[in-house]
Amino acid sequence: MLVSDPVSSEAELVIKAIMKGGARRLGLYVASAGRLGIDPDLDLERLTTDRPVRTIFDVGGNFGQTALHFASAFPMATIFSFEPVPTSFERLIQSTKHIERIKPFNLAMGDAAGVVTMHLTDSAGGNSIVRVGSAIGAVDVSIDTIDAFASRQTTGIIDLLKIDVEGYELQVLRGASHCLSEGRIRFVFAECVFSPNSEMPHTSFFDLHRVLDGEGFCFVNYYAEGFNLRLGCAQGNVLYALRSTLPRNAPGRVRNIC
């Protein structure tokens, strides 16, 4: 019978404790990269070992920050980035023009095609189709559906559907009903809150969960971004995976995930 060396084990624990203690004094936290729930990019990489991420829909492209991030994290992926506000779209084009795999479109996404009013705030990231009390203006923008766009572009499987649209997430999912029911979307990464507040037009996690659970998706993890102390409201992003497309095993601490 093999017995671990208690001295070596204790020494390893001491070294880890010293490293973690030093990191905390620097304002850092040390965690294993194989641990689920730390980094959504790492989690997606571990859950797509059988088929790497190749097609991403970036709904709510803003200035191109997320599209650029995805292009770096997933080098095989083509990113379709949707930003409806003209001024933000121009910045999206300029910031991503050097990467051919990023395809910008001056569109909002929802549950019907046409034209819709976008309410503008002093921060471009807060612009929303949902009326907000802090709006300083409005602009009419073109809107489409994921189903219609995917059909025209013949995109096939959408490996990752990212949605950050300030409270309009459920409408985007309704506009992707055919893709969802046909199993053509593998992962959904969406912004949400646990305690909705009228001052923060964000989608409820529980509403999001009800819709995706009904489409055969399972909850993977929640990645907190912030907490509004005055409103008592946590905000972050949630990752869902289509159960039927998960690998039988994933590297790291997760085993037999399906």
pTM: 0.86
Q: How far is CA 211 from CA 110, 144, 152, 217, in A?
A: 15, 20, 25, 9
Q: What is the mean pLDDT of the chain?
A: 87
Enumerate residues 6+ apart whose C-beta is below 8 A from 129.
108, 110, 116, 117, 118, 119, 143, 165, 166, 167, 168, 171
pLDDT of res. 256: 46
pLDDT digits (tens, 9 = 90+) for 71-122: 999 999 999 999 999 999 999 999 999 999 999 999 999 999 999 998 888 7
**C-beta of residue 162 within 8 angstroms of C-beta of residue 65:** no
Distance, CA of 255 to chain centre = 23
Confidence of residue 198 (pLDDT cuts 50, 70, 90): low
Which CATH code is given to the segment(s) 35-245? 3.40.50.150
Alpha helix segments (H runs only) across 51-139 = 65-73, 86-96
Q: pLDDT per residue over 50-65, tens digit each?
A: 899 999 999 999 999 9
Give residue 1's pLDDT: 34
The total number of residues written for the chain in this structure = 258
Which residue ranges make up each domain of the chain? 1-30, 35-245
Instruction: Give the pLDDT of residue 257.
Output: 47
Q: Which pLDDT tens digit goes with each residue over 160-197?
A: 999 999 889 999 999 999 999 999 999 999 999 987 77
Q: What is the pLDDT of residue 254?
A: 58
Characterize the bridge pairing of strands 233-242 and 185-193.
antiparallel
* 3 band by pLDDT with thresholds 50, 70 and 90: very low
Q: Quickly state the pLDDT bin for 2 (edges 50, 70, 90).
A: very low
Beta-carbon neighbour count of residue 139 at 10 Å?
A: 13
Tens of pLDDT, residues 23-40? 788 877 776 666 777 899
